[in-house]
Each structure stands twice: as structure tokens, then as C-alpha cells.
Amino acid sequence: QVQLVDSGGGVVQPGRSLRLSCAASGFTFTNYAMHWVRQAPGKGLEWVAVISGDGNYKNYAASVKGRFTISRDNSKNTLSLQMNSLRPDDTAVYYCSAAHDSRWHSFDHWGQGTLVTVSS
């Protein structure tokens, strides 16, 4: 069955960097666009970034553009999010999500999330 395992979260100081990973299994990875979606403590969901199945298309929320970079390694079925210049308002649980090529605009499958805390 489809499984997404998020990892890499932790406590980091403002201005520092962190790299999140998502290991995918149970489906044809290249047939899915992959998203990162975050949820601040006690708050709603916020879309962060998307990458196409072949990795050629990427897009970002305005709040992270220029600071975060989404990437994927289709040979290893992994998704990554490089987060630089972190700010306290980046504190959230980060979920990776898979969206089938036939319906990009819904988040079909979700990882369990990894908590990122930005604090001095």
C-alpha cells in the first residue's frame, strides 16, 4: 500500500537551515506530483511547494519562495525540502503529499508529518 514517511524535522535557530525528506513506497513514484504542506501548531493547512513527477516543474508559496527548494530523486523514491533562512513563523508540522498525475490538484496521500521548530 501507499506509504510516505516524513523525516528530518527538529529544533533550529532562526536563520539556520534544515532539510526534510520523504520516503515513498507502494506506488509508481514518477506518476505522482509531490507536494509539501505545513500546519502551524493549532492552525490550518498551508501549501508550501510542488514538484512534477519528472522533476521539471516546481512552484512555491510566496511565503517560502527564494528560501525553500523542493527536489526529488526518482531513482530512490525520495522527496526533499531544503529550508534556508528559517524564521519563527516557519514553525509547523511539515507533511509530504502525493498527487496522481491525473489529478494534480488534490492531495491524495499524506506522510505522518515531521515537526520543525524555529526558535532561539
Partner 1 sequence: QSALTQPASVSGSPGQSITISCTGTRSDVGGFNFVSWYQQHPGKAPKLMIYDVTNRPSGISDRFSGSKSGNTASLTISGLQADDEADYFCSSFTSTSALYVFGPGTKVTVL
Q: Compute the CA torsion angle 72, 42, 118, 107 (nearest 10 deg).
A: 10
Contact residues: partner 1, CB under 8 A:
35, 37, 44-47, 50, 59, 61-62, 95, 103, 105-113
Cα distance between residue 120 and residue 112, in whole Å: 26
Q: Is the Cβ of residue 19 or residue 58 nearer to partner 1 in the bound state?
A: 58
Under DSSP, is residue 106 helix (H, G, I), strand (E, B) or coil? coil
**Rounded least distance, CB 97 to partner 1, Å:** 8
**Rounded least distance, CB 92 to partner 1, Å:** 13
Tell me which residue of 78, 61, 62, 58 sits closest to 70, measured CA to CA.
58
Q: Is the Cβ of residue 3 or residue 13 nearer to partner 1 in the bound state?
A: 3
Q: Is the Cβ of residue 44 or residue 120 nearer to partner 1 in the bound state?
A: 44
CB 57 within 8 A of CB 73: no
**Rounded least distance, CB 15 to partner 1, Å:** 25
Length of the chain: 120
Q: Is the Cβ of residue 30 or residue 112 nearer to partner 1 in the bound state?
A: 112
**Rounded least distance, CB 3 to partner 1, Å:** 12
